[in-house]
Amino acid sequence: MQPVSASSYAPAPCAVPTQAHAQHEVGPMRKVFSKEDIPQEGVLEAWTVNSDLISWVREKVSLCTPDEVYLCDGSDEEYTELCDLSVEKGSFIKLDETLRPNSYLVRSDPDDVARVESKTFICSESKEDAGPTNNWKDPSVMKHELQGKFSECMKGRTMYVIPFCMGPIGSPMSKIGVEISDSPYVVCNMKIMTRMGEQALDKLTEATPFIPCIHSVGQPLAHGEQDVPWPCNPDETCIAHFPETKEIWSFGSGYGGNALLGKKCLALRIASVMASEEGWLAEHMLILKITNSDSEVKFITGAFPSACGKTNLAMHTPTIPGCKVECVGDDIAWLHPGDDGKLYAINPEAGFFGVAPGTSMESNPNAMKSLTENCLFTNVALTPAGDVWWEGMTDVPPDGLIDWRGNPWTPESGTTAAHPNARFTAPASQCPVIADEFDAPDGVPISAILFGGRRPGTIPLACMARSWEEGVLMGASVSSQKTAAAEGTVGEIRHDPFAMKPFIGYNAGDYFRHWLEVGKGLDPEGAPKIFSVNWFRQDQEGNFMWPGFGDNSRVLEWALKAASASEAEKLYVDSPIGLLPAPGSIDTRGINIDAGTMEKLASFDPTKWEAEIAGNRDYFETFGKTLPPVFSKILDAMEEDLQV
Ligand code: GTP
Ligand code: SPV
Ligand code: MN
């Protein structure tokens, strides 16, 4: 293969007119229609038996007035067709076929690079029901605004109709959604991230409920107007959720959680509301399977805020001899109490939308191996050979890079070559350690739940809750440094209860109560034990004290042993804040860490902890009377213990 110059990978100017798809037949059924076809009796009826879906699509076609309507079947041919079209239009860059087969680079608009929490709304009937962690707007006011924004917003574009299933097809825990979008990038991502197309549509009988999700990049095209590679409308961006009617409307952004509506919007914000109504939990959690050297298999979930290590932990390579880790999910878990009193988890997603920077063969070889083909890369750098690169992938960047904005880049440029929130989209099936249970319709039984954040001080490496209630308080107390996954100042510590601050679709106080309720319904023996963990503690010089990554398996091993150990086994010591690892109880054989550092990692500073409690109390006050009273009881007891 001849090396190709980087310039041959620069996006082609958008010379192609806005017309997109020929009126063609693909597979057994026609799938592209003009907007005039859609109201005609029989057209959508040939596609689905679900009359609510038919009327919803008709309504949105007449609102958005796209040039054409494309009913997605989720086939590989469709994916290839949309990628080819996007290359032709200058939106996608095809990567070198031998280096990265069937994979593409996409560069977003520099003003559309992450989730925008300030423009995300929970539009419940009452403001109280959205609670203090959400932006709220009256649903009728918001609907009126949205009608205005969406009116004729798809002019000159194609409307894609994307049926998808969150969760294994046929699982009683799965939910069906249908996304309408004018972004081929969204279609291609949804193909990887969800069970998309015919397989989902087939599950929609006449009466099956589905969650309607409408998305537009918010940039209609006048007749003959040339498109840009990444259309968006940052000034008008709005991501609205209607918890009572279970609808999602997203306008103006094409990026990640703003636009792939099955992910944060459906599988967390709307699902958390459904979960509270139906008695389960929708969480921002990884799910991993761990097999110890005695071949015992256990499952763990972990909630960490955005860009705080879920993907890395979910598929890490354990450094403990004889221990095996496999991945069930890396971002979202739906947890259902089983008839046996245990908690069962499914991963509603089918792919990984992971943080690229920092991912390398050293830090996360299983992620790197998941990325060898059939992937989308957003806002990473391009090599002259037509491959991707990002900070941390290799120690030395290759020469001749083109950065995420499309400009030549060298280490002297003073910027990063990849955007800090650059992402890969990869099919979970390509992960070398994907667990057999990934598709299990009944989910996997959870033995331990971890809560963690990026905390340079205060929070110990690991701590086990003495009760479900104390564990729920641990979840509610999560704070973490902000990352590039959302807007705001990176590094600033903010409260992020359950790593769900941006994703709880209702009043967070009610959400805490719901967690307590779910716990009451579990068998005390079979319920998962709850832990707080912190891989990010720093020493005086600002170095991470714990090696992290593959060595986190050592903490998991301790947690699982501690979960079923009696006090006599001396795996943990009781303390005012919970059960801390006993000296020597975390296996550090083979790693270069001294006993003094381990002792610091496994302990806490009472003065700092008192400040932590005071900060949490202030924060919890914002929840008013929705806050479960048990929180202050536990905090009172903790404070009392700290005094003695
Ligand atoms: P979202 O997809 O945004 O929800 O993020 P995530 O929680 O899956 O985060 P991810 O695993 O992608 O990690 C993000 C960053 O955290 C990367 O830059 C990693 O290098 C870093 N990281 C992950 N695990 C560890 C760890 O154990 N120790 C340290 N020091 N850094 C870590
Ligand atoms: C997160 O921010 O937690 C993500 C990325 O997983 S996004 O899907 O963009 O929300
Ligand atoms: Mn996430």
Tokens of 208: 């099956």
Is the pTM higher than 0.85? The answer reads yes
Residues with catalytic annotation? 308
CB 65 within 8 A of CB 34: no
Predicted confidence band of residue 292 (pLDDT cuts 50, 70, 90)? very high
How crowded is the C-beta side of 547, counted as CA atoms within 13 Å?
Answer: 18
Encoded amino acid at 306, one letter: S
Residues in the chain: 644
CB 173 within 8 A of CB 334: yes
Ligand 3 centroid to residue 632 C-alpha, Å: 29
Give the Cβ contact number of residue 36 at 10 Å: 10
CB 529 within 8 A of CB 448: yes
Tell me which residue has tokens 């994979």: 103
Tokens of 250: 């997203």
- Which of 9-13, 584-588, 634-638 has the weakest average pLDDT? 9-13
**Of 26 and 297, more confident:** 297
Residue nearest to atom 4 of ligand 1 (CA): 306
Predicted confidence band of residue 386 (pLDDT cuts 50, 70, 90)? very high
Ligand 1 centroid to residue 368 C-alpha, Å: 14
Which tens digit of pLDDT belongs to each residue from 164-192? 999 999 999 999 999 999 999 999 999 99
Is the Cβ atom of 256 under 6 angstroms away from ligand 2? Answer: yes
Tell me which residue has tokens 């806490």: 604
Paired with 574 in beta bridges are 579
pLDDT for the residue numbered 7: 41
Is the Cβ atom of 312 under 6 angstroms away from ligand 1? Answer: yes
Is the Cβ atom of 264 under 6 angstroms away from ligand 2? Answer: yes
Ligand 3 centroid to residue 1 C-alpha, Å: 37
Q: What is the mean pLDDT of residues 75-84?
A: 97
**CA-based nearest residue to 167, from 309, 266, 50, 311:** 266
Q: What is the mean pLDDT of residues 364-373?
A: 98
Which tens digit of pLDDT belongs to each residue from 120-170? 999 999 999 999 999 999 999 999 999 999 999 999 999 999 999 999 999
Ligand nearest to the CA of 250: 2
Paired with 106 in beta bridges are 92, 378
Residue nearest to atom 21 of ligand 1 (CA): 309
Residue nearest to atom 17 of ligand 1 (CA): 358
Residue nearest to atom 23 of ligand 1 (CA): 309
What is the DSSP code (8-state) at residue 117? Answer: G
Predicted confidence band of residue 14 (pLDDT cuts 50, 70, 90)? very low
Tell me which residue has tokens 């423009």: 119
Ligand 2 centroid to residue 297 C-alpha, Å: 29
- Asked if the model's pLDDT at residue 345 lies above 60, the reply is yes
Q: Which phi and psi angles does 593 have, rounded to 5°?
A: -140, 130
Q: What is the mean pLDDT of residues 288-308?
A: 97
Predicted confidence band of residue 22 (pLDDT cuts 50, 70, 90)? low
Q: H or E segment at 300?
A: strand 297-303
Is the Cβ atom of 353 under 6 angstroms away from ligand 2? Answer: yes
- Which of 21-35, 264-278, 597-611 has the weakest average pLDDT? 21-35
Tell me which residue has tokens 């998962």: 528
Give the dihedral of Cα atoms 174, 179, 246, 241; nearest 10 deg: 120
| Of 308, 363, 371, 393, best ligand 1 pocket probe by most atoms within 8 Å of the beta carbon | 308
Which tens digit of pLDDT belongs to each residue from 539-569? 999 999 999 999 999 999 999 999 999 888 9
Q: What is the mean pLDDT of residues 316-325?
A: 96
pLDDT for the residue numbered 10: 42
CB 258 within 8 A of CB 164: no
Q: What is the mean pLDDT of residues 421-438?
A: 98
Ligand 3 centroid to residue 469 C-alpha, Å: 25
